[in-house]
Amino acid sequence: MKMLLISGSPYARKVRIILRELEVECELNMLSTYPPTEDEVGCYNPSLRIPTLIDGKEEIFESDLIVEYVLETYGHRSGAHQAKVPFLPQRYKQETKWIDLKRSAIVETLIDTMVNAAYLNWCGLTETRRNLMGFSLESRWEQRIARCLDWLEEQATPDGFSPGFLTLQDIEFICAVEWTDARMQYPWREGRPTLAALVDSFADRPSFAESQFPPMPDFLMPALEEQGKTSSG
Ligand SMILES: N[C@@H](CCC(=O)N[C@@H](CS)C(=O)NCC(=O)O)C(=O)O
């Protein structure tokens, strides 16, 4: 099995963490250029995005589908149960199905919005004018990010969203906020002590420690400084 990815992708990192938790061998094919080219990814994934997983004849894309595939195919691996806080190799627990799925959905909205906000900023667009419907995209996104984080703060415990286990929702959330720490200066910890404690509680776990995001590339540093100025007013 091999996966096409870049080391700075929050979508790829969650798959990496799950593979590591399940002790599934996978060749990590780190792409050296960004964005992925037609030649590298186009023959596997029409969206031209990573992560893309190739397992024999099966080519899987979209990180959530990759997660489903990995859990269905390799979720029974015993390694998953050996840790003190075991990884729960399923998308949700039956008794908390809808809340688990809603948490995953909100975390996905959170990371998509944060990535869009960062990309807009890296285009030099720190303030767009109101659109034809009368609202500005970035203030709507800012509002959404804050509301999603506040909603998650109410749901979290310092030991995870379902204490006693490492769940998919914990992994998805940690990948989302640690990406923002590495790529934009968004103060998500402020006023959200439970989420901060949750992230810190898993920091030393090998699957997280080994897949940390690399530092911001030099060519994005000016944008990061600009973001810092904007968020501190
Ligand atoms: N919904 C997709 C998002 C994947 C995604 O946006 N990947 C980024 C890297 S973090 C990418 O490949 N971007 C290239 C592009 O937008 O052309 C997933 O969950 O896999």
Q: What is the mean pLDDT of the chain?
A: 92
Residue 89 lies in a domain: no
User: Could you tell me if 69 and 98 lie in one domain?
Assistant: no
CA–CA separation, 46 and 158 (whole Å)? 40
| Top mutation candidate among 3, 18, 49 for ligand 1, by most atoms within 8 Å of CB | 49
CA–CA separation, 227 and 126 (whole Å)? 8
61: pLDDT confidence band, cut at 50, 70 and 90? very high
Q: What is the pLDDT of residues 136-170, one digit of tens each?
A: 888 899 999 999 999 999 999 999 999 999 999 99
User: Could you tell me if 222 and 108 lie in one domain?
Assistant: yes
- Position 8 scores a pLDDT of 95
CA of 38 to the centre of ligand 1 (A): 14
CB-CB contact of 155 with 163 (8 Å): no
Domain hosting residue 33, numbered range: 2-81
80: pLDDT confidence band, cut at 50, 70 and 90? low
Residue 86 lies in a domain: no
CA of 50 to the centre of ligand 1 (A): 5
CA–CA separation, 232 and 152 (whole Å)? 24
With a 6 Å cutoff on the Cβ, whether 35 touches ligand 1 is yes
Looking at 81, 114, 145, the residue that finishes a domain is: 81
Residue nearest atom 12 in ligand 1 by C-alpha distance: 49
Distances (CA, A) of 166 to 21, 44, 90, 135: 10, 31, 11, 39
**Would you state the structure tokens that stand for residue 146, as one six-digit string?**
């804050």
User: Could you tell me if 186 and 114 lie in one domain?
Assistant: yes
Residue 159 lies in a domain: yes
Residue 217 lies in a domain: yes
Q: How many CB atoms lie within 10 A of CB 135?
A: 11
CA–CA separation, 29 and 32 (whole Å)? 9
Average pLDDT over residues 92-118: 97
Could you tell me the CATH number of the domain that includes residue 212? 1.20.1050.10
- Global confidence as pTM: 0.94
Residue 57 lies in a domain: yes
CA–CA separation, 97 and 147 (whole Å)? 22
Q: What percent of the chain has pLDDT over 90?
A: 77
Looking at 20, 51, 81, the residue that finishes a domain is: 81
Looking at 36, 52, 81, the residue that finishes a domain is: 81
User: Could you tell me if 64 and 155 lie in one domain?
Assistant: no
Whether the pLDDT of residue 81 is over 70: the answer is no
CA of 78 to the centre of ligand 1 (A): 31
User: Could you tell me if 114 and 210 lie in one domain?
Assistant: yes
Could you tell me the CATH number of the domain that includes residue 62? 3.40.30.10
User: Could you tell me if 111 and 61 lie in one domain?
Assistant: no
Whether the pLDDT of residue 231 is over 60: the answer is no
* One-character DSSP codes across the chain: -EEEE-TT-HHHHHHHHHHHHTT---EEEE-SSSSPPIIIIITT-TT--S-EEEETTEEEESHHHHHHHHHHHHTT-GGGG-SSS-B--SS--GGGHHHHHHHHHHHHHHHHHHHHHHHHHHTT-SSPPP-TTS--HHHHHHHHHHHHHHHHHHH-BTTBSSTTSB-HHHHHHHHHHHHHHHHS---TTTT-HHHHHHHHHTTTSHHHHTTPPPPPPGGGHHHHHHHHHHHT-
| Residue partners of 121: CB distance under 8 A and separation at least 6 | 184, 223, 226, 227
Whether the pLDDT of residue 230 is over 60: the answer is no
229: pLDDT confidence band, cut at 50, 70 and 90? low
User: Could you tell me if 109 and 209 lie in one domain?
Assistant: yes
With a 6 Å cutoff on the Cβ, whether 193 touches ligand 1 is no
Least Cα distance to 52 among 6, 91, 90 occurs for: 6
Distances (CA, A) of 72 to 40, 62, 89: 27, 15, 9
- Count how many domains the chain has: 2
